[in-house]
Amino acid sequence: MGKIAVVLLFIDGVGLGEMADHNPWVTYPTPCIRQLLDGMPLVREAAGRHGSDLLLLETDACLGVEGLPQSATGQATIFTGKNAAREMGKHMSGLPFRRLREWVQKDNIYLQFEKKGWKATFANAYTKEYFERPATKRGWVSVTTATIQSSREPVRFFQELVEGKAVYHDITRTILKKTGMDVEEITPEQAALHLWSIAGDYDLVVHEFFLSDRAGHKQDPWLLQYVTHHYDRFLGELVRLKRPEDTIVLVSDHGNSEDLRVKTHTANPVPTLVIGDIDALSEVDTGAWDLTGIVPLLTRIVSRNKKTG
Ligand SMILES: [Zn+2]
């Protein structure tokens, strides 16, 4: 049984692009996504409602700030619910500088949930080595790491991973195995099962996938194929295992992998894909939807779950 669960899937560098040959989300097979979107791939045209419990929203990642959207401020906006790009005066890429890091560590979704007595967790597994690196010790960490570190909720390590109580960022542990760790690869379906098994103890569980952004920058066909194929299966199985009362929310921080013509990020809208309690959006102006809406949305869904559950 367990709690009514909300899963936040954060996928880096995936915009809603065109139905075109330069879009790997169109050209590579994504049968599970197409099944969810009435035959459409993950493109701008697919935005809208599909069935009674699925809504794909075009999400503005530019946030009224000049220039291409970037990871640090995009993620900071997703995880705080406040416009980090405007706050910092520009879009900031890569790992956040101290000012942005401290800003996200002051107030973010984990801390907001903690204050309400709700339980939220980050499902990704870290290696011990990661925290022993001098750069990590100096605070040179991603927004997603900085946010979970600011909360009382512990991060997950290799031990949790082998117990099926964590998910590796690449879903299948392929990259972890390549680094020489003594670990077996798993299928995306197994990873989906692991994510749901964590979800049973929490109100919100977050997973971060960033190979999509890397694949877009590198324009690497092997990696793009890996990303679209495995993420499609992961999402498909998460939806298959979802109970009617659970909700999955998928969001990205900026476009990139949906346009192979450029190595850079794009100004495309990103997806907010809600599968489950789409009624939580009924009083929201989804015409002006942007990344600041994710924290309020997740808060609203969990709050509604508390009432019914
Ligand atoms: Zn990037």
Question: Is residue 69 scored above 80 in pLDDT?
Answer: yes
Question: Is residue 120 scored above 60 in pLDDT?
Answer: yes
pLDDT at 1: 52
Compute, in angstroms, the gap from residue 92 CA to the centroid of ligand 1: 10
Any bridge partners for residue 55, and if so which?
A: 49, 274
Compute, in angstroms, the gap from residue 19 CA to the centroid of ligand 1: 22
pLDDT at 258: 98
First vs last Cα of the chain: how many Å apart? Answer: 12
pLDDT at 97: 86
pLDDT at 139: 86
Compute, in angstroms, the gap from residue 70 CA to the centroid of ligand 1: 7
Provide the Cα torsion 42, 217, 207, 68; round to 10°: -80
Q: What is the mean pLDDT of the chain?
A: 96
Question: Is residue 3 scored above 90 in pLDDT?
Answer: no
Mean pLDDT of 83-106: 93
Compute, in angstroms, the gap from residue 212 CA to the centroid of ligand 1: 9
Mean pLDDT of 1-12: 90
**In contact, 280 and 303? CB cutoff 8 Å:** no
Say how far apart CA 164 and CA 158 lie, in whole Å: 10
Compute, in angstroms, the gap from residue 289 CA to the centroid of ligand 1: 22
Longest dimension (CA), the chain: 50
pLDDT digits (tens, 9 = 90+) for 280-297: 999 898 989 999 999 999
Mean pLDDT of 221-226: 94
Q: Residue ranges per domain, the chain?
A: 6-308
Compute, in angstroms, the gap from residue 284 CA to the centroid of ligand 1: 29
Based on its alpha-carbon atoms, the radius of gyration of the chain, rounded to whole angstroms, reads: 18
Compute, in angstroms, the gap from residue 24 CA to the centroid of ligand 1: 16
Q: Whole-prediction pTM value? A: 0.97
Banded model confidence at residue 299, pLDDT cuts 50, 70, 90: very high
Compute, in angstroms, the gap from residue 93 CA to the centroid of ligand 1: 7
- Give the DSSP per-residue string, 27-54: HS--HHHHHHTTT--SBGGG-EE-SSSE
Question: Is residue 143 scored above 90 in pLDDT?
Answer: yes
Compute, in angstroms, the gap from residue 75 CA to the centroid of ligand 1: 11
Question: Around Cβ 274, how many Cβ atoms within 10 Å?
Answer: 23
pLDDT at 309: 64
Compute, in angstroms, the gap from residue 141 CA to the centroid of ligand 1: 15
Compute, in angstroms, the gap from residue 154 CA to the centroid of ligand 1: 27
Mean pLDDT of 162-179: 96
User: 6-308: what fold?
Assistant: Alkaline Phosphatase, subunit A (3.40.720)
Banded model confidence at residue 6, pLDDT cuts 50, 70, 90: very high
Could you tell me the two tokens for 61? 């990642």
Compute, in angstroms, the gap from residue 285 CA to the centroid of ligand 1: 29
Banded model confidence at residue 95, pLDDT cuts 50, 70, 90: confident
Compute, in angstroms, the gap from residue 13 CA to the centroid of ligand 1: 6
Compute, in angstroms, the gap from residue 257 CA to the centroid of ligand 1: 9
Banded model confidence at residue 94, pLDDT cuts 50, 70, 90: confident
pLDDT digits (tens, 9 = 90+) for 18-68: 999 999 999 999 999 999 999 999 999 999 999 999 999 999 999 999 999
Compute, in angstroms, the gap from residue 180 CA to the centroid of ligand 1: 26
Compute, in angstroms, the gap from residue 305 CA to the centroid of ligand 1: 34
Residue type, 13: G
**In contact, 252 and 61? CB cutoff 8 Å:** yes
Compute, in angstroms, the gap from residue 132 CA to the centroid of ligand 1: 25
pLDDT digits (tens, 9 = 90+) for 172-214: 999 999 998 899 999 999 999 999 999 999 999 999 999 999 9
Say how far apart CA 222 and CA 226 lie, in whole Å: 6
Compute, in angstroms, the gap from residue 27 CA to the centroid of ligand 1: 21
